[in-house]
Copies of this chain bind each other. A is one copy, B any other.
Amino acid sequence: MTDQVSSDALRTVLDGRWAHVREETRRQFARQDVRPDPDLSTEDYRAHVTAALKTLVASGRPHTGFDPAVGGEGDVGGVVTAFAMLAYGDLSLLVKAGVQWGLFGGAVQVLGTARHHRTYLRRIVDGELLGCFAMTEAGHGSDVAHLHTTATYDPAAEEFVVHTPYPQARKEYIGNAARDGELAVVFAQLVTGGTSEGVHAFLVPIRDAGGNPAPGVTIGDDGRKGGLNGVDNGRLSFDHVRIPRENLLNRFADVAPDGSYSSPIGGETARFFTMLGTLVRGRISVAGGAGAATEKALTLAVRFAERRRQFSHPDTGAEIAVLDYLAHQRKLLPALATTYALHFAQEQLVGRMHDLQAPGAAPAGAREQRLLEQSAAGIKAVATWHATHTIQTCREACGGAGYLEANLLPALKADTDVFTTFEGDNTVLLQLLAKELLADYGRTIRKGNPRGVVPLVGRQLAGVLAERTGAASLPRRLPGRGIDLSDPARCRALLEVRRHDTLATAVRHLAPALRRGADSFAVFNAAQDLLLEAARAHVDSTVERAFADALTRVADPGTRALLEKVHALHVLSVIDRERAWYLETGRLTATESRTIRPLVDRLCGELRPHARTLVDAFGIPENVLACPMLDDEAWAPGPDTPVAPTTDRIETG
């Protein structure tokens, strides 16, 4: 049994590289009351959040992520870390801030050039110019290359004509659109001289100084949503709206006054993926927000479960804290262990992004950029699904109390719900990741150069896979048999085995059919399960390695021993979830597999006394956790606790 470890010691490990930012953000939370009345009307709530956005400006935090040229510090990692912590408070503010500075401001900074930075960036950073990131269309969300909004160049007027050709091409679910946005970054097919050059970003004013829709712009309101009702999502349609040629965000491509098109990046696809690469920060930020929300939910549920008692001990008659029930531990503690794992994976991801994107960083190689995008896509998907499941579980674990808005869990659930489908639908993200893994595998065989500038897609991916049969003989590199599952190092090997084998299985299924020239949609579609499984296994492995890396940085033996148990519980939970796969592939025998659940039970029991410490280590400010179900006064026992029948005294009649 591990000795009692302090939550401060754990917090140092969790806080990591941006500990100073975390501490400062905690202090900011402690000074303010950000909780809105849950009964505000949508319009009042939106006004409340817009006002809170201005308060955030005053804190100076949003500036820090931008370039020093516009008053920032270029602290990319710091700003993403602080952003995620906004999930401790009102998630509408988190999303509104993400739209304004991450998506809208980020697009202007990354896709624009000096003329755009000069004109707009300072006002964006200062929250004086609110704007939209208008990429998604009603009929085209994940398939960004197929957006149907057009921006057609008119050389006579030196203007682009932005147009929504039919209802499903309208921009939809756009934050800041329904109430506050003045300017939008609109993604549209650039057409010049009769040729479509693919998707580009344009600055389109959507409201005039009086706050009315600009001429030709129709603004709709998405109205009440499942959550995040402090964010004014809406829809935008354009009826031949004219904008100056200079409103093209022209860092990666430009149109000359005569309409001729040029780009420093050869190939439409390369340009497209370069522009999409700007989304990586959004995905990482969403994963971080999901993580912080999950940590808050678990803190609430664990504290409640220590307090709330239910049923009596049959021998002593004393009532039992619900966290002492194995079933309750199984609900919360493996989820807590995985939350730790994702916390470390997120920390690592933020660090990699910072090192690639911060001012003064060495120019990112295409390979590093793509690896970062792969990790971001995978961790975003896994972290947001984990948030949805875990917050749901926490709500249920608190019973009726968990259903009251006053106890904070309903808003956490409702507000984070959309995280699984925005900034990239999770299923689509995992499929894209799987296809990249396949392509990397194919290219490794072909050229020994696993990662090109852009992923292989469509027929080319099919071609590479059909060409190579080597996949079927991908070595079973790691031993899976005869494993002592109480040894975490051995368990880690099982995760690696799964990562290798699931990819090999996918290749083995795809290659023969593709070689035969079968309909490639049908072939890939029939293997979708296998692709998702391979992607998931890849992410599981990435996440586990981040946790293991973090363990190596822990000096204090007691703290490390406790974190090793948390790590073991996380890894065993993954193996438990996937144990059918291990059995089907012969990587575990039935006898070995049957040892998993008792081991999980044992670890739950060992971590039970540390549960409170483990959640307190997240360091969520007490003022954002305060709620009636955790209020000391509500739990005061009365002097005259009555005699009540215990199950012990019940007769069979």
Interface residues of A (CB under 8 A from B): 38-39, 41-42, 136, 138-143, 145-148, 150, 165-169, 172-173, 189, 191, 196, 198, 222-227, 265-272, 308-315, 319-320, 324-328, 330-331, 388, 392, 395-396, 399-406, 409-410, 413-414, 417-418, 420-422, 425-428, 431, 452-454, 456-460, 462, 519-521, 525-526, 528-529, 532, 579-580, 583-586, 590, 593-594, 597, 601, 633-648, 650-653
Contacts and interface: CB of A to CB of B under 8 A. Distances in A.
A418 B392 contact: no
A583 to B, nearest CB: 4
Contacts of A646: 145-146, 458
Instruction: Please provide the 7 A-B residue pairs with the shortest distance between their CB atoms, ordered closest to farther.
Output: A166-B638, A270-B653, A226-B410, A267-B653, A583-B583, A224-B405, A38-B224
B583 A593 contact: yes
Contacts of A138: 401, 634
Contacts of A167: 633-636, 638
A457 B651 CA distance: 8
Given A647-B458, A653-B265, A326 B526 contact: yes
A409 B414 CA distance: 12
B400 A651 contact: no
Given A165-B641, A327-B532, 9 more contacts: A141-B310, A167-B633, A189-B644, A223-B406, A227-B403, A268-B650, A330-B528, A402-B421, A460-B650
Nearest to A40: B41
A639 B163 CA distance: 13
Total copies of the chain? 2
12 contacts: A39-B42, A140-B310, A141-B399, A145-B647, A166-B636, A168-B634, A270-B651, A314-B458, A314-B459, A315-B519, A400-B422, A413-B417
Nearest to A145: B645
A196 B594 CA distance: 47
Contacts of A271: 653
Nearest to A385: B396
Nearest to A136: B400
Nearest to A265: B653
Contacts of A452: 652-653
B583 A584 contact: yes
Given A421-B399, A594-B584, A525 B314 contact: no
A148 B644 contact: yes
A354 to B, nearest CB: 27
Contacts of A642: 148, 150, 165, 189, 191, 196
Contacts of A136: 400
A206 B427 CA distance: 52
A645 B140 CA distance: 13
A534 B428 CA distance: 36
Contacts of A652: 267, 269-270, 452-454, 456, 460
A645 B310 CA distance: 61
A225 B396 contact: no
A398 to B, nearest CB: 8
A269 to B, nearest CB: 4
A580 B587 CA distance: 13
A534 to B, nearest CB: 13
Contacts of A169: 638
Given A167-B635, A528-B325, A635-B168, A420 B396 contact: yes
Contact of A651 (B267, B395, B635): B267
Given A145-B650, A148-B641, A226-B403, A520 B597 contact: no
Contacts of A168: 634-635, 637
Given A42-B39, A314-B462, A637-B166, A414 B226 contact: yes
A168 B628 CA distance: 12
A590 B579 contact: no
A103 to B, nearest CB: 15
Contacts of A227: 403, 410
Given A326-B528, A327-B528, A650-B145, A226 B395 contact: yes
Nearest to A425: B399
Given A165-B642, A267-B653, A594-B584, A526 B601 contact: yes
Contacts of A222: 404, 406
B427 A327 contact: yes
Contacts of A417: 392, 395, 403, 410, 413
A586 B644 CA distance: 47
A328 B421 CA distance: 14
A40 to B, nearest CB: 9
Contacts of A458: 314, 646-648, 650
A403 B420 CA distance: 11
A457 B594 CA distance: 29
B269 A653 contact: yes
A413 B223 contact: no
A311 B594 contact: no
A458 to B, nearest CB: 4
A172 B401 CA distance: 9
A593 B601 contact: no
Nearest to A520: B314
Contacts of A647: 145, 457-458
Contact of A593 (B420, B584, B644): B584
Contacts of A457: 647, 650
B529 A601 contact: yes
A191 B521 CA distance: 73
Contacts of A325: 525, 528
Contacts of A312: 143, 146
A594 to B, nearest CB: 5
